[in-house]
Structure 1
Amino acid sequence: MGFEISKSNALMVEGLNARALRQDLISSNIANIDTPFYKSRDVDFETALIEKTKEIYGAGETGNATLEMAQTDMSHLSGDKSFDASKATIYLRDGHTARNDGNTVDLDVETSELGKNAMMFNALTSALQKNGAIFKSVIEYSSKL
């Protein structure tokens, strides 16, 4: 059993895992750029992080981690409760024109997404390092007292 620095640390690790999955999917899309009828895929990892956040921080007494919308007038909408963000999903990207062979991979889109994903991965890595450095400095300072 490992030592948990903080709840946010576990969430950042899950974020890194999700970014690694996205990297694999984008790489797979690029690798299949010449495969007839291949449809480019992506992952909606934000929903996976929502699920992990509920798990880490708890779902509250009611088992529901949602914030209820205030309804100050009976004519106000009550909000959409049908969306279930409990699972990450891999989906086919829409909006990309298929070539004559039915392939929907666009190299420009994939390289752009690859760059964005790498930037987010690096940001999470940096945040994890800084989070660890804060706790390390607290431990070092407290040993001097």
Structure 2
Amino acid sequence: MNGPDFLDRQLGQPAAALRLRAQRLDLIASNIANAATPGYKARDLDFKAALAAAEGSGNTSGAIRYRVPVQASLDGNTVELATEQTAFAENAIDYRASLSFLGGRIQTIMAALKGGE
């Protein structure tokens, strides 16, 4: 009952969601960092598709997609700073919520393992 398999079953989706939120933050931060790089193509993570893939095959690379800009830049860069900043802020809030949920799940498991002391 105990061991890595038990923890994987108990923390599976919340832990996967936290990893995916972190991956999305990295992608958006990369977009923001390259806002002035000619030819840079902004990318984003389709969270729902990535979560479904993480639960299935575990391969989430197909959920990373290029962002379609509202207005194309003359230098080929598709980063729109306002869009990226909004996406970053929203994802950061979702990351904190996932972290809180996972923390609650861990506390519940710890209490159960200790026998409800």
TM-score by length of 1: 0.67
Q: In structure 2, do the counterparts of structure 1 residues 49 and 143 end up closer, same or farther at CA, with 3 Å as the change threshold?
A: closer
Select the structure with the greater relative contact order (CA < 8 A; seq sep ≥ 6).
1
Match of 1:45? 47
> Alignment partner of 2:6: what SS?
coil
What is the number of residues matched between the two proteins?
114
Match of 1:10? 12
Match of 2:63? 89
Counterpart Cα distance in 1 of 2:40 and 2:116: 59
Q: RMSD between aligned alpha carbons? A: 2.5
Mind listing any 5+ residue stretches in structure 2 that lack a counterpart?
none
Match of 1:134? 108
Question: Offset of 1:112 from its aligned partner?
Answer: 0.5
Counterpart Cα distance in 2 of 1:112 and 1:24: 14
Equivalent of residue 125 in structure 1, options 91, 94, 99: 99
Q: In structure 2, do the counterparts of structure 1 residues 38 and 99 end up closer, same or farther at CA, with 3 Å as the change threshold?
A: same
Q: In structure 2, do the counterparts of structure 1 residues 87 and 30 end up closer, same or farther at CA, with 3 Å as the change threshold?
A: closer
Q: Identity percentage over the alignment?
A: 32
Contact 2:42–2:66 under 8 Å retained in 1? yes
Counterpart Cα distance in 2 of 1:29 and 1:87: 17
Question: Offset of 1:118 from its aligned partner?
Answer: 0.7
Contact 1:5–1:132 under 8 Å retained in 2? no
Matched, 1:106 2:108: no
> Alignment partner of 2:64: what SS?
strand
Contact 2:43–2:64 under 8 Å retained in 1? yes
Larger Rg: 1
TM-score by length of 2: 0.80
Q: Which string of whole-angstrom CA distances, capped at 9 and with x for unpartnered residues, describes residues 55-98 of structure 1?
A: 69xxxxxxxxxxxxxxxxxxxxxxxxxxxxx8632211114212
Q: Which string of whole-angstrom CA distances, capped at 9 and with x for unpartnered residues, describes residues 107-131 of structure 1?
A: 1111100011111111111001111
Contact 2:69–2:80 under 8 Å retained in 1? no
Mind listing any 5+ residue stretches in structure 1 that lack a counterpart?
57-85
Counterpart Cα distance in 1 of 2:116 and 2:21: 37
> Alignment partner of 1:97: what SS?
coil
